[in-house]
Structure 1
Amino acid sequence: MDSPTLPPLILTLALDEESAEFFNALRRQHFPPERNYLDAHLTLFHHLPGTEQAALTRLLSDYARRLAPLPLEVSGLQFLGQGVAYRVGSAALQELHRELQQAWWPWLTPQDQQKRRPHVTIQNKVRPEVARSLHQQLSSSFQPFSATGIGLQLWIYRNGPWEALQYFPFGA
């Protein structure tokens, strides 16, 4: 368990500027404003131990240095019950996630030990009928598109807002 001075860490994939702006515009339009204190993101790990920040940072620096930007395919929409997300597929991203999962297995929560189904949430914590309506609206005109993962972002979780700790650009 994390101490009060060392809250858990979250790892996300940074997206290329054009894709990030596309998702952020949808978030601004459809995410409840009182809950929309983050830009759009693709979460890789939800709860990494703050006590292991130094080890996590070393490994992330090493991975990011040797990785090229990751090609991503935004393949469709996903109804979340109380929200909507865009499904994101990538063999390279799945492989990166598996490798990090193996390296960090003893530290992972059951949620983070599961296979990742990458997505970018653009709406959450709304009534199911509101989410279903948006899902139907966006699905009716959806065309798959490409995006790029350009790095990793490590965050600290503070019971709501996230605080950016470090960015690890790929290939730097």
Structure 2
Amino acid sequence: MTVTTVPATHPIARRGPLAQASTAEIHQSSDLQHQRHEAHIPKGSNDEKKLYILTLLTDKRHHDEMTALRRQWFPSRLLKVDAHITLFHALPGSKLPEVKADISDLAARTPRFSIGVGNQDVYEMGKGVGIKLYAGQKRALSIRSELRDKWERSLHRHEQAG
């Protein structure tokens, strides 16, 4: 699991963790243009163009600290977003109403939980680095697993994995 968040300037960031939200909000940045990895293209029609990334929302302190590390160690040419904890890389836009409803339902019944990272948990991932969660990982993986099970038929094989 890669540590990263929505930008602190995004309206949802002022509300606290997503688990406290009664409705889900999806952030789409149209100014980010990059090549999608084939493994991140969801199953679906050829007309499927919009893809969404789902991340956990963290508090400002965590966001700022992880973003500072990301800017220091992540390749600058690939640095398109601030630090975040990715749950899914490529959710199909055609399923957005279902995705929003499922996230809203899950957020309404998920209590706030702590996360933590440590120096010993840094790992290489392709062209950059990630930091494993040492606190909160089981809860984050449980959230991902529940959503993955609901969306399995719409996800690419890369997203279906554990």
* Fold equivalence (TM over 0.5): yes
**Higher deviation after alignment, 5-14 or 92-101:** 5-14
Aligned identity (percent) is 30
* Aligned length, in residue pairs: 115
1:60-110 per-position Cα deviation (integer Å, ceiling 9, x unaligned): 111112211222232411133543211114221121111111111111111
Instruction: Name the SS of the counterpart of 1:77 in structure 2.
Output: strand
2:100 is the counterpart of 1:57: yes
2:56 is the counterpart of 1:16: no
Taking structure 1 as the reference length, the TM-score comes to 0.60
Q: Report the Cα offset of residue 5 of structure 1.
A: 7.0
Query: Residues 79, 32 of structure 1: CA spacing in aligned structure 2 closer, same or farther, 3 A cutoff?
Result: closer
Instruction: Name the SS of the counterpart of 2:115 in structure 1.
Output: strand
Q: Report the Cα offset of residue 2 of structure 1.
A: 5.0
Matching residue of 2:128: 83
Query: Structure 1: where are the runs of 5+ without partners?
Result: 116-172
- Summarize the alignment of residues 1-172 of structure 1 with structure 2, pairs less than 5 Å apart: 1=44, 6-75=49-118, 76-80=121-125, 82-89=127-134, 90-115=137-162
1:90-139 per-position Cα deviation (integer Å, ceiling 9, x unaligned): 22112111111111111111111111xxxxxxxxxxxxxxxxxxxxxxxx
Query: Residues 32, 77 of structure 1: CA spacing in aligned structure 2 closer, same or farther, 3 A cutoff?
Result: closer
Query: Residues 82, 37 of structure 1: CA spacing in aligned structure 2 closer, same or farther, 3 A cutoff?
Result: closer
Instruction: Name the SS of the counterpart of 2:54 in structure 1.
Output: strand
Taking structure 2 as the reference length, the TM-score comes to 0.63
Q: 2:99 is matched by which residue type in structure 1?
A: L
The structure number with the bigger radius of gyration is 1
RMSD over aligned Cα atoms: 1.9
Query: Residues 9, 70 of structure 1: CA spacing in aligned structure 2 closer, same or farther, 3 A cutoff?
Result: same
- Select the structure that is richer in strand: 1
Moved over 6 A (4+): none
